[in-house]
Amino acid sequence: MEYRALGNTDIKLSAITYGSFAIGGNMWGGNVHKDSIASVQASLENGVTTIDTAPFYGFGLSEEVIGEAIKGKDRSSIQLLTKFGLVWDGSNQGKGIHFFDAVENGNTIPVYKYAGKGSIIREVEDSLKRLKTDYIDLLQLHWPDDSTAISEVMETMERLVEQGKIRAAGVSNYAVAQLDEAAETFLPASNQVAYSMLNRSIESDLVPYAIQNKVGIIAYSPMERGLLTGKYFQDGKLKEDDHRNEYFKQFDLHKVKGFLDKLSGLAADKSVSLAQLVLRWTTLQDGITVVLAGARNAEQAIQNAKAMEVSLSHEELTFIEKELTHVISAN
């Protein structure tokens, strides 16, 4: 495993970082508690020391599972990354911006983007309790909240750093202009954004900015929510309430399958899985600090960690790049 510096901080994160959206259950067709615990613990045992979560994932469940999974572990050897700014419990009292309606156990739950000072402080205290810890290594704004001044958000996180509640402050889904505005108050250590073989839009502006200003990039959805594992093309069946039924419609699936068929040959030559090859490619891209990889059970977690053992030559990277041009142009 490689461990990489987070932006301009002295915090080191594992290049493959455990992504915990799926173990929250909501929007992913549920979960199995014991498997979720095992997946976190297997990650730690195989060098994946960084865990990314959020209160919204399972409406607190993901954080609770992680808190249970790391109980008794050496806290100083684990980096806990969580977020704030998606409010669903009504505590925003009508403030913020309606984002979407989530469905949980047949109930519709309005979710708001809200990052006012008081709300941030409350969310952090709730996260600390669920995670069973007294500090968070990296606290991130989950989504931009246009109803709250960026300066207020950054000032609040700066205070939390000073208080020792968090070690570093980051954002998610920020554009370059928003990062520039944030830096006028407090430069974020990182920006968590979507990035994958099929979604490389950040390479044009965000990556150069991040490199120049020492802002870490945490890449989420590198597997495009499982599409790039190739498993979808083997049976194509997802549970009815799985959000990916709609999400996958944005891609030319015929083109994607053709690309994955070619990539599968390269993976077979290396005796690795398609998912491992995709993850490793992502970690090798300019400006990418760490890559999030979800796991529902221990075996998936182990295989994610082993992705860092995959070696890709200059010729092989060129081959992948050439094949990708056909797919990206189609989407």
CATH of the domain at 114: 3.20.20.100
Q: Please give the structure tokens belonging to residue 288.
A: 């990418």
- Measure CA 48 to chain center: 14
Range of the domain at 75: 3-236+273-310
**pLDDT at residue number 293:** 95
Which residues of the chain, if any, have pLDDT below 70? Answer: 24-32, 236, 240-241, 329-331
**pLDDT at residue number 296:** 86
Domain tally, the chain: 1
Residue 294: inside a domain: yes
Residue 194: inside a domain: yes
Of the listed 3, 18, 57, 135, which one is catalytic?
Answer: 57
For 15-36, write each residue's pLDDT tens digit: 999 998 877 655 444 566 888 8
Residue 295: inside a domain: yes
Residue 19: inside a domain: yes
- The interaxial angle of helices 150-163 and 176-183, nearest 10 deg, is 60
**pLDDT at residue number 90:** 86
Total-model pTM: 0.93
For 36-92, write each residue's pLDDT tens digit: 899 999 999 999 999 999 999 989 989 999 999 999 999 999 999 999 999 998 888
**220: annotated active-site residue:** no
Residue 249: inside a domain: no
Residue 265: inside a domain: no
Q: Please give the structure tokens belonging to residue 89.
A: 């419990």
Residue 100: inside a domain: yes
Given the DSSP bridges, would you call strands 166-172 and 136-141 parallel, antiparallel or unpaired?
Answer: parallel
Residues whose CB is less than 8 angstroms from the CB of residue 187 and which lie 6 or more positions away in sequence, other chains included:
8, 213, 215
Residue 67: inside a domain: yes
Q: Where are the alpha helices (DSSP H) in the chain?
A: 33-45, 61-69, 117-131, 150-163, 176-183, 206-213, 232-235, 244-247, 253-270, 274-283, 298-306, 314-328
Contact yes or no for 154/124 (Cβ under 8 A)? no
